[in-house]
Amino acid sequence: MKVLGIESSCDETGVALVATRADAPPQLLADALHSQVEMHAAYGGVVPELASRDHIRRVLPLAREVLGRAGCALHDIDLVAYTRGPGLAGALLVGAGVAVALAAALDRPALGVHHLEGHLLSPFLAPEPPQFPFVALLVSGGHTQLMQVRGVGDYALLGETIDDAAGEAFDKSAKLLGLGYPGGPALARMAEFGDAQAYPLPRPLLHSKDLDFSFAGLKTAVLTQVRKLGPGVCEQARADLAASTQAAIVDVLVAKTLRALTATGLHRVVVAGGVGANLRLRERLDAGAARLGARVHYPPPALCTDNGAMIALAAALRLQHGLADSRRDGAFDVLPRWPLAAVSQPGA
């Protein structure tokens, strides 16, 4: 089965073609992505209306590009998958509208997919896919969640952020340090030259018994330090503050992930989302997991961030496991706030 996947929940338009067979691992035939980061940078964050308009401009050319690269024609597509939620309503509507219209024109079914399920299953497109069950750490600009993944469609939320996401904490701190948007990678680069012990920043909920996160207080603490340092702050002090901020975020992410391993008795972790690219996080998590006899899987960078491949894959796996009904009636909706629990069936 060949599945065209369309992702448009936030600021990236992703389209991909994935082939699945009952007797072989799923195969990514081609994918294409357009990131709107530069467009939103001028505003210091994602502007929803601009995001929707840009998805409209990009989605069909990207689909053409994907089919061309895969050497496939429109009529080779067996199913059109799209992100039904969660995300920005207008942005989701673009992908959903195009997907359902395309499916109708081709007389093929369409299927709406949960964005986070896409992230959770994305490692199955990697060269060394993990085995179920595993703990998933989902860390992006919009999400920070720990999940127990027992199989396709069988997910239990272990903990999540009660305020800002980890990526948001990186981005907001970077902005306070004058590093532009999205500042996570820039802050990480600057941190390489800094002393992570220089500023004692809070590690919110580090010692709480649950698996929840809180990053809003960290941003306030960084602001306080930036104000203390004043406008003429030297490069070394900025680097020290960047390193201290990164250390605070990484400490909490690592501690909670290791606690999730202990609590579930599992020995595998999958990290998904843009913050998973952070090298300090990888180092610390690998070392901590090794101490527990566990292994950490990181999907290739292109599958860590938002992409169409994970949407195509999640749709195909759901159908294969009899967990979803694709539809041909052209009707669709989007669910900007859609809890993962709504698509999760224990023991599925």
Sequence-ordered alpha helix ranges (H) in 159-214: 166-176, 184-191
153 touches which of Zn ion, ligand KG4, none (CB within 5 to 8 A by kind)? none
Phi, psi (degrees; rounded to nearest 5) at 12? -130, 130
276 and 75 Cβ atoms separated by less than 8 Å = no
Radius of gyration of the chain (CA): 20
In whole angstroms, what is the distance from residue 248 CA to residue 224 CA?
A: 15
At 240 the three-state DSSP class reads helix
161 and 213 Cβ atoms separated by less than 8 Å = yes
124 and 26 Cβ atoms separated by less than 8 Å = yes
- Among residues 36, 83, 140, 144, the one that binds ligand KG4 under rule CB under 6 A: 140
Q: Is 305 in the site for ligand KG4 (CB under 6 A)?
A: yes
How do 154-160 and 134-139 pair as beta strands?
Answer: unpaired
Q: Residue 109 or 141: which CB sits closer to ligand KG4?
A: 141
Strand order in the sheet with 2-7: 24-35, 12-21, 2-7, 79-85, 110-114
**Which residue has the closest beta carbon to Zn ion?**
306
| Tokens at 165, concatenated | 């996401």
- Among residues 90, 141, 194, 299, the one that binds ligand KG4 under rule CB under 6 A: 141
* Smallest distance, ligand KG4 to C-beta of residue 279, A: 7
- By CB under 6 A, the count of residues binding ligand KG4 is 18
| Tokens at 204, concatenated | 């919110």
170 touches which of Zn ion, ligand KG4, none (CB within 5 to 8 A by kind)? ligand KG4
Residues in a beta bridge with 154: 151
Q: Is 306 in the site for Zn ion (CB under 5 A)?
A: yes
134 touches which of Zn ion, ligand KG4, none (CB within 5 to 8 A by kind)? none
Pick the piece of the chain touching ligand KG4 (CB under 6 A) from 62-70, 137-145, 153-161, 230-238. 137-145
* Smallest distance, ligand KG4 to C-beta of residue 19, A: 25
Identity of the amino acid at 320: Q
Q: Residue 10 or 248: which CB sits closer to ligand KG4?
A: 10
305 touches which of ligand KG4, Zn ion, none (CB within 5 to 8 A by kind)? ligand KG4
| Distant-in-sequence, close-in-space partners of 186: CB < 8 Å, separation ≥ 6 | 174, 179, 180
- Among residues 7, 164, 240, 306, the one that binds ligand KG4 under rule CB under 6 A: 306
How do 110-114 and 134-139 pair as beta strands?
Answer: unpaired
- By CB under 5 A, the count of residues binding Zn ion is 2
* Smallest distance, ligand KG4 to C-beta of residue 116, A: 10
88 and 51 Cβ atoms separated by less than 8 Å = yes
Q: Residue 47 or 72: which CB sits closer to ligand KG4?
A: 47
Q: Residue 165 or 190: which CB sits closer to Zn ion?
A: 165
Q: Is 70 in the site for ligand KG4 (CB under 6 A)?
A: no
Pick the piece of the chain touching Zn ion (CB under 5 A) from 31-39, 126-134, 137-145, 333-341. 137-145
Q: Is 274 in the site for ligand KG4 (CB under 6 A)?
A: yes
Q: At what angle do helices 235-264 and 279-291 cross, to 10 degrees?
A: 30
Q: Is 14 in the site for ligand KG4 (CB under 6 A)?
A: no
* Smallest distance, ligand KG4 to C-beta of residue 303, A: 10
Identity of the amino acid at 166: A
Among 282, 246, 274, which Cα is nearest to 173's? 246
184 touches which of ligand KG4, Zn ion, none (CB within 5 to 8 A by kind)? ligand KG4
Asked, as a colleague might, if the bond just before 346 is cis with ω within 30 of 0, I would say no
Residues within window 144-173 making contact with ligand KG4, judged by CB under 6 A: 167, 170-171
Instruction: List interacting residues with Zn ion (CB under 5 A).
Output: 140, 306
Instruction: List interacting residues with ligand KG4 (CB under 6 A).
Output: 10, 140-142, 167, 170-171, 182, 184-185, 188, 273-275, 277-278, 305-306
